[in-house]
Amino acid sequence: MNINAKRAVALVTELMGIPGVSRDEKNIIEHLRKLLKQIGVPASAVKVDNVNRKTPGGGNSGNLIVKLSGTIKAPRRLLLAHVDTVPVCLGSKPVRKGKYIISADKNTGLGADDRAGVAVIFTALREIIENRLPHPPLTFLFCVQEEIGMRGVRYMSLSDLGKPAMGFNYDGGHRIVIGATGAYHLDIEIKGIPSHAGAAPQNGASAIVAASVAIAELQRGGWLGAVKKGGKTGTSNIGVIEAGNATNVVCPQATLRAEVRSHDPVFRKKIMAEIEKAFVKAAKVTKNVAGKSCVAKMTRIPEYESFRLPEKTEAVQAAVRAYRALKLKPELEIMNAGLDANWLVELGVPTVTLGNGAGNAHTTLERLDVAEFEICCRAALQIATGI
């Protein structure tokens, strides 16, 4: 299945240059809406939902949704890509350098994550409309707020998508991602006992000391970083500590933020329980002269649930067929990161995540492999035409 590759590359270059960090997607959404009109998508098929009114912290745009009825009778297929980029991509100046597109400004990322995915699904849509290609009922979702916890998908109404039977998410490498990890945020609060650090340190119990004891204990026990116990694996990280504001006060308060991931929900719980235990215990043994202890409390906030699609799922099989048709090796993968697919699967739409040609996401070294991007566009067209 062929595409106008030159035009696809011009499109991705244009899209990567448009600012649009999470919650500030209005410009890119409006731009895409304009492009949809130009290629002849009827206004009645296009909608921007109000997900930004439901996501915590809001945002200036909802998701852009295009719904086409099919010319062939088959289950509805959903193609999606997120339009928001991470802050390092602000100011991206996409330029071609050999086989790659990079940002001419060395201090910015490119924004191929995920404007390359956006260009991939837009290209499939454009080829279908322009060449009047037969296709099953199709939904294209250009979603917002992926980078801050997949909120554009997490909080959307599934009914807006027209009941797709399967989803294809363009936001990854060249493998077919059929599963992803689940993650939790942890908020840990330690209350210490303040006292003058020079006049009466013995009357205080330091929240910083309690936190340090807990962290040292967890580190020693192998519960931080890559966690491997009894054949089970997961990861954990304490990424933020905020504590104290003066050197002459025994620290009264520490707040820590951490995360835990594992494909195995039971093991994920186990890691969280160990972290909680370490902080509660460390707080208890951190006392003042009167025997009063610090107190620790941990709150678990689910970020997304893990999933794994069986290989026989039609979404997986359709992706495999499309890759084979393009003489690509269909390699299946389980990822250690959260994806929009996690929430779509949760909402009941089996969704695979496929490539967009991008690499080194979220860094100033981000680049787009042009040849690979073109292949991704062809694979997307293959999938969108329902073969």
Q: Which is nearer to Zn ion, 150 or 381 (CB)?
A: 150
Closest by CA position to 340, among listed 22, 20, 8, 17: 22
CB of 177 to Zn ion, least distance (A): 12
Residues binding Zn ion (CB under 5 A): 113-114, 171
Q: Which is nearer to Zn ion, 25 or 113 (CB)?
A: 113
Positive/negative CA dihedral, 379, 5, 96, 140: negative
Residue/partner pairs of 366-369 with CB below 8 Å, 24 or more apart: 366/89, 366/102, 366/103, 366/109, 366/110, 366/111, 366/112, 366/113, 367/100, 367/101, 367/102, 367/110, 367/112, 368/12, 368/16, 368/94, 368/100, 368/101, 368/102, 368/110, 368/112, 368/116, 369/99, 369/100
CB of 82 to Zn ion, least distance (A): 6
CB of 144 to Zn ion, least distance (A): 12
Q: Which is nearer to Zn ion, 77 or 82 (CB)?
A: 82
Q: Which is nearer to Zn ion, 109 or 252 (CB)?
A: 109
**What is d(CA 177, CA 319) in angstroms, rounded to the nearest whole number?**
10
- Reading across the β-sheet that carries 358-359, which strands appear in turn? 94-97, 100-103, 367-369, 358-359
CB of 356 to Zn ion, least distance (A): 8
DSSP annotation of 290: T
**Nearest-5° angle of CA 249, CA 191, CA 247?**
15
Q: Which is nearer to Zn ion, 3 or 118 (CB)?
A: 118
CB of 266 to Zn ion, least distance (A): 28
Q: Which is nearer to Zn ion, 168 or 223 (CB)?
A: 168
CB of 149 to Zn ion, least distance (A): 12
